[in-house]
Amino acid sequence: MSFGRILTAMVTPMNEALEINYQEAARLAQYLIAHGSDSVVVCGTTGESPTVKDDEKVELFRVVKEALGKTPVVAGIGSYDTEASVALARKAATTGVDGLMAVVPYYNKPSQEGLFQHFKAIAEATSLPLILYNVPSRTSANLMPATVKRLAEIPNVVALKEAAGSVDQVTELKRMLPPEFVIYSGDDSMTLPMLALGCNGIISVAAHVIGDEMKQMVDAWFAGDTAQATQWHLDLFPIFKGIFVTTNPVPIKAIVNMLGINAGGVRLPLVEATPEEMKFIKNLMDDIKKLRDRDKAESITELKAACGKAGDTIV
């Protein structure tokens, strides 16, 4: 099973009562696939997994998979409780999803052996491909390369979402792991540097709003046009950083609402963006529009030049 190069870690849409809005979740998933994403991750931490109940998650898995058909859907099933993660993995497997993603257990800071046993138990609970997710800034525990190497020997542990923020750690991973083991950046701004180290793509937050542009960056890299990929990275970098003006997923939910998809609010202990933060987010959306207008103008200029060389006329 290939999940592609760009996976979006979806927000979880909610209504005014902060109940799950399943209809908008399906609509958002379809929008993402139409705008650069190859797959979606449902109920990762961007999807507010700690405050979405298991029965809600299972229904989200079912609804999104039904909406996307043959397009791969990855179910976020990880928590700090191995037994609960295993139970949710088994329930997820009944919904038709194509893979699982499990985050490093947060708060309780397991040893490397504890992490190995945790992920091993999840992997053995189903036959679905499992993506490991390392994000020490959120979990207080770092899944080390040597432990990933051990886990990669389990047949259905197929990928890692790496968000430790260390180029050295990514380098060690690439040195240790077999070439077929897939490594995704877990940080939008690290996408291009990690591609340069031989990684495979991105599990993204920013692709909610700039998925088409990210696809052009990634496609340019794999086509060998490193200069164009670098230019896209430089252009998109302020957006990669700007969408984290406050705690994720607060800003990206606000942006999805601006796109006309009703993502709603966030459940406590998260709170809505402040007026000052909303002003920043609105300015960020203006910057995205300017970037797209500039790109469109440059494309038209290039097309005119190409037609001119061919002796054609374009008006």
Catalytic residues: 133, 161
* 3-state DSSP assignment of residue 2: coil
| Torsion 193-194-198-203 (CA) sign | negative
Residues, the chain = 315
CA distance 40 to 69: 12
Strands 73-76 and 99-103: parallel
Q: What CA–CA distance (Å, rounded) separates 315 from 312? A: 10
Question: Over the range 132-150, which residues count as b (16 or more CB within 10 Å of their CB) and which as e?
Answer: bbbbbebbebbbbbebbbb
Tell me the C-alpha distance between 220 and 5, whole Å. Answer: 12
The C-alpha torsion from 25 through 65 and 247 to 167, rounded to 10°, is: -150
Say how many C-beta atoms besides its own lie within 10 A of residue 265's C-beta. 18
